[in-house]
């Protein structure tokens, strides 16, 4: 009779995998992809190196899984924030606020997704492009809708969203460098939202 793992065993395995991946996010964010080693990850996660290789064949595969999952987490959070508001100003404000909330509470996630070092990982190119397109689309949807409703002048919605997406990313990364990031959070949300509205000529 073939062995079948119990639900309890599966949950235990899932918990180990989750804990190891959460640790890996912090290690990659701190050391960078190339400097971080499998040994660094297992030591900080307090698991045997064999446990790592039970779940992942190598560091690159783990990183790809992490990138996909953290990208999905960020995108889903931003979509919910933006789509949950009725007016263009509120949509932009909610999106910026959600992004900053994640940055302040999960800075390692943001570092993992926005780090320039990921550009040098060939196998990640398609996933990174998918993430950037999806992120731009989140900002573009309300812009296109505001154009349709004549709340802002006719313009290239895609281009505006691309510019905003890159600019907002820079704001987030710079905020994380500030020692008083939490203190200036509200001002950053306000100023960023105000700039967005002015940039697309919302009056």
Q: What is the mean pLDDT of each run of 10 residues along the chain (203 residues)?
A: 51 76 89 89 90 91 90 95 96 97 92 77 86 96 96 96 96 94 95 96 86
C-alpha triplet 101, 116, 198: angle, nearest 5°: 55
Domains and CATH numbers, the chain: 9-56 (1.10.10.60), 63-199 (1.10.357.10)
Contacts of 48 (CB under 8 A, 6+ apart): 42
Question: What pLDDT score does 1 carry?
Answer: 44
Structure token pair of residue 24? 């890996």
Question: What pLDDT score does 203 carry?
Answer: 74
**162-182 exposure pattern, b = at least 16 Cβ within 10 A, e = fewer:** bbbbeebbebbbebeeeeebe
DSSP state of 149: T
Query: How far apart are the C-alpha atoms of 185 and 56, rounded to whole Å?
Result: 38
């Amino acid at each position: 009779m073939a062995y079948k793992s119990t639900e309890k065993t599966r949950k235990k395995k899932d918990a180990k995998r989750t804990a190891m991946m959460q640790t890996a996010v912090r290690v990659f964010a701190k050391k960078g992809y190339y400097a971080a080693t499998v040994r660094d990850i297992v030591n900080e996660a307090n698991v045997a190196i064999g446990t790592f290789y039970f779940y992942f064949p190598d560091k690159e595969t783990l990183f790809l899984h992490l990138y996909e999952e953290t990208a999905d987490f960020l995108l889903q959070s931003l979509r919910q924030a933006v789509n949950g508001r009725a007016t263009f100003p509120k949509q932009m404000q909610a999106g910026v606020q959600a992004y900053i909330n994640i940055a302040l509470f999960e800075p390692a996630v943001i570092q993992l997704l926005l780090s320039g070092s990921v550009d040098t990982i060939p196998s990640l190119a398609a996933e990174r492009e998918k993430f950037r397109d999806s992120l731009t689309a989140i900002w573009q949807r309300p812009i296109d809708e505001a154009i349709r409703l004549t709340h802002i002048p006719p313009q290239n919605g895609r281009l505006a969203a691309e510019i905003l997406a890159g600019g907002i990313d820079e704001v987030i990364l710079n905020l994380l460098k500030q020692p008083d990031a939490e203190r200036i959070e509200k001002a950053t949300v306000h100023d960023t939202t105000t700039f967005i509205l002015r940039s697309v000529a919302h009056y």
